[in-house]
Amino acid sequence: MIKQKQFWHGWKYDYSVHEKKAGELLCSGFSGLNEYMNCLFKSCPDKYFLEGPRSSKLRFQMPNLDIRRHNDHDISLLTSYGLGINAERFSSEHLKVQMFMLENDRHTVAIEVPVWLLPEETDRFSHLFREEKPLTGHIDLLRIEGNKIWVWDYKPNADREKYAATQTYFYALMLSKRAGIPIENFMCGWFDSANAFVFKPETKQLKEFI
């Protein structure tokens, strides 16, 4: 039911896919995402993740994102359950939350999804990242809900985050490129057990920013 592969990308990442949910939720319109996730079990350009910039380390803000805060989002409730139920099962808060949702949430299809963006895939790459090597990252949670692909990042102190919007925007952009699905089919967010912050990524936001 849950297929896993461990990547060593400067740190251990347990890429995991709930095959049954992925097959059911991605069959209409998002087959490119399912194909991409399946391909990762066979081939992943590991060297990209050891050399270039990482989305989680980006330290600039995109001021033109319409970010909305929710203090009653279901993902925060699920986070509380995960932290409690998996309290003794995993050592890290991330895994407690991620595995609970992968196993129990009907919308969550994958965790720790590797993604990358090549310099030629976006304008002014070197200006943005001060690098010529691919941008990389690992998406904490992928959910399918409301006919959208939701890119989520767990942040234990979500309301204090300065750069989580930038991080998740580029996660969505990277996955859009890898799966061949327009970014307008995505939603982004970061969360903890109390708050969730969400926004809709669009191509024009990056064009306006750069």
Number of domains in the chain: 1
- In DSSP notation, the chain reads -EEEEEEESSSEEEEEEEHHHHHHHSSSS-HHHHHHHHHHTT---TTHHHHS-BGGG-----TT---EEESS-HHHHHHHHHHHHTTTT-SSHHHHHHHHHHHH-TTEEEEEEEEEE-GGGSTTHHHHHS-SSPEEEEEEEEEEETTEEEEEEE-TTGGG-SSHHHHHHHHHHHHHHHHT--GGGEEEEEE-SS-EEEE---HHHHHHH-
Task: Report d(CA 160, CA 158) in Å as an integer.
Answer: 5
pLDDT score of 179: 98
pLDDT score for 76: 99
Judged by phi (left if over 0) then psi (alpha if -120 to 50, else beta), residue 180 lies in left
- What is the mean predicted confidence (pLDDT) over 145-166? 98
User: Please, which pLDDT band fits residue 116 given cuts at 50, 70 and 90?
Assistant: very high
The pLDDT of residue 209 is: 80
Rounded to whole angstroms, what are the CA distances from 65 to 61, 71, 85, 128, 139? 9, 19, 35, 17, 19
Condensed to tens digits (0 to 9), the pLDDT of residues 159-175 reads 999 999 999 999 999 99
The pLDDT assigned to 202 comes to 94
For 196-210, the pLDDT digits (tens) are 999 999 989 988 887
Range of the domain at 131: 2-209
Which pLDDT score, from 0 to 100, does residue 189 have?
Answer: 99
Average pLDDT of the segment spanning 25-54:
96
Q: Which SS3 state, helix, strand or coil, does residue 103 take?
A: helix
Tell me what pLDDT residue 187 has.
Answer: 99
Which pLDDT belongs to residue 63? 86
Structure confidence at residue 128 as a pLDDT band (50, 70, 90): very high
- Higher pLDDT pick, 203 / 136: 136
Residue 209 CB coordination number (10 Å): 16
- Provide mean pLDDT across the span 57-86: 96
Averaged pLDDT, 17-28: 96
Average pLDDT over residues 128-149: 97
